[in-house]
Amino acid sequence: MKKVVLSTLNAKYIHTNLAIRCLKAYIEPEYQAELAEYTIKDPILNIATDLFSKKPDIIGFSCYIWNIEETIKVIQVLRKILPDVKIVLGGPEVTYDVPYWLDRLRGEVDFIVLGEGEETLKQLLDQAHGDEDWSQVHGIAYLEGDKPVVKPQQNKIDLREVPSPFRFEEDLPHLSKRVTYIETSRGCPFRCQFCLSSIEVGVRYFDREKVKDDIRFLMKNGAKTIKFVDRTFNISRSYAMEMFRFLIDEHLPGTVFQFEITADIMRPEVIEFLNQEAPAGLFRFEIGVQSTNDETNDLVMRKQNYKKLTRTVTMVKDGGKIDQHLDLIAGLPEEDYHSFRKTFNDVFELRPEELQLGFLKMLRGTGLRIRANDHNYIYMNHSPYEILGNNVLSFDDILRIKQVEDVLEKYWNDHRMDGTIEYLVTECFETPFDFFQAFGSYWESRGWSRIGHQLEDLFKRLHEFLSSHGSFNMEVIESLMKLDYLNNQRYKPRKPWWTHELTKEERSSIYQELLQTPQIAGNEYMELNLSEKELYKHTLLESIVSRNGEEHYVLAYFEPSTGQSTLFMIEKELVSN
């Protein structure tokens, strides 16, 4: 029996590859395969050395835009140290532009699997152990001499009959530490021209009861983060409701389920059900907005009712149970810099927990890439095929939007200073985009995009940027920044980012008054009943100014056993001078 290894290079260690597990499950028990996962950060020679040590006869690689170039480097080494090994590529990155890949990888790769790979791999292994008549294998491409041979797939496999990819003993010790990906359907009903899912027609479902059994098994064995890779999880309302009900009823504490949701087709009664029944933090929604420009959406065949999308996102946010991650794509057709500014502001108005600002990638096989000349697109020749400009968006515009992306990630998505950012985008700048753009441009001009940052650095750099404007109420802004900083600390900070305004004597005087009259800090503080030692050891006292100009002291108490901080406001007039 030939030794088969199924491999991939993940973007991060915490990720797992579902594809190679589906392949392994499908070819068993007739054929055995060893899984070998690495990351794109691992040294190429280390990967090749590990694969060499497994002494494979056949190696299959799962290929995507994020790993194809590193995968090719590994293959080039393997071809020199394992000249007789058969190398098979599959995955979305190599399924399209097959003649290009066959020519580019001539002499290095033996076969390319097109699309869904389970049945194809099984047929390929049958021939590898038999007559080696590759013409009998459907869904592969290869070179016969100099001639490319492409054998189309036949019928799609019946997903209701496929075996589980989650029962491998070697995976069980890692479930609690990594993201587990699961699919309950394949295909997408929509035709968005920038997305590979638009190429596959129709949606097929796995057996619901088998999916539920898999989820029970994964949770029982420690899986904490389970991400559904269905392109539109809620395309069937009845199916989504059944799965939501199941997950609510049978989830184990600490488990989080993530879904890609099409927000404008979600019915209000579904959201009301989730708001009432779902435990806080159990679900997380990812919603692709991409653009709020109607002309742009029409050009990419994207049907989106933004009013209904807004209703869904708002209802979910008001429910307070489910975090939402909203996606935007810069560089779509006829979306210039000013139109994208409007898109950003439209979506930021919803205040999602995360707002992902991505840049259009011209994926092989997509309609947008095929018709790239219609909008004068220029883009990278190699993965990730990111655009460099088009007829309405210059490369300079793209660089400016990238500056927005940089600070958006650090200052909004990480939620280090929500109170401060809310004040800045509503009171100090014309729009949220203008704040992130101005700060992002300043950030770049100072060279901060090329160095690392501690938490205190992020506060200092925002303070420097705002101080350079000279037109803001810095007393109020500094106070909001102090409150945000203290709210997000788990332990009493040794050296806060600001210079203490209170002297040691002033602070000691206020502490003594708190010991004598604790009610000046409120009833909740009184209930703590802190001793003098605890007060000095576990609290921090600072002077702040509220938005209406009133002066206060803020007392931050850091609970030593839980690492939780609690802030108490003290009116200055309640403290003796």
Q: Is 563 left (phi over 0), alpha (psi -120 to 50) or beta?
A: left
State residue 214's pLDDT score.
98
pLDDT of residue 571: 87
Q: What is the pLDDT of residues 211-226, one digit of tens each?
A: 999 999 999 999 999 9
- Whether residue 29 is preceded by a cis peptide bond, meaning omega within 30 degrees of 0, is yes
Residue type for 280, please?
Answer: A
Residues of the chain with pLDDT under 70: 576-577
Residue 174's pLDDT is 95
pLDDT of res. 577: 56
Query: What pLDDT shows up at residue 574?
Result: 76
Are the C-beta atoms of 163 and 211 separated by less than 8 Å? no
The reported pTM is 0.92
Homologous superfamily of domain range 159-377: Aldolase class I (3.20.20.70)
Q: Is 135 exposed, middle or buried (0-12, 13-18, 19+ CB in 10 A)?
A: exposed
Q: What is the pLDDT of residue 154?
A: 85
The CATH homologous superfamily to which domain 4-151 belongs is: Cobalamin-binding domain (3.40.50.280)
pLDDT for the residue 490: 84
| Nearest of 215, 219, 197 to residue 206 by alpha carbon | 215
**Segments making up each domain of the chain, as ranges:** 4-151, 159-377, 498-574
Alpha-carbon span 15 to 39, nearest angstrom: 9
Q: At what angle do helices 68-81 and 44-53 cross, to 10 degrees?
A: 50
Pairing status of strand 179-182 against strand 225-228: parallel
Give all strands of the β-sheet with 111-113 in edge-to-edge order: 33-39, 4-10, 58-62, 86-90, 111-113, 140-144, 147-151
Three-class SS state of 148? strand
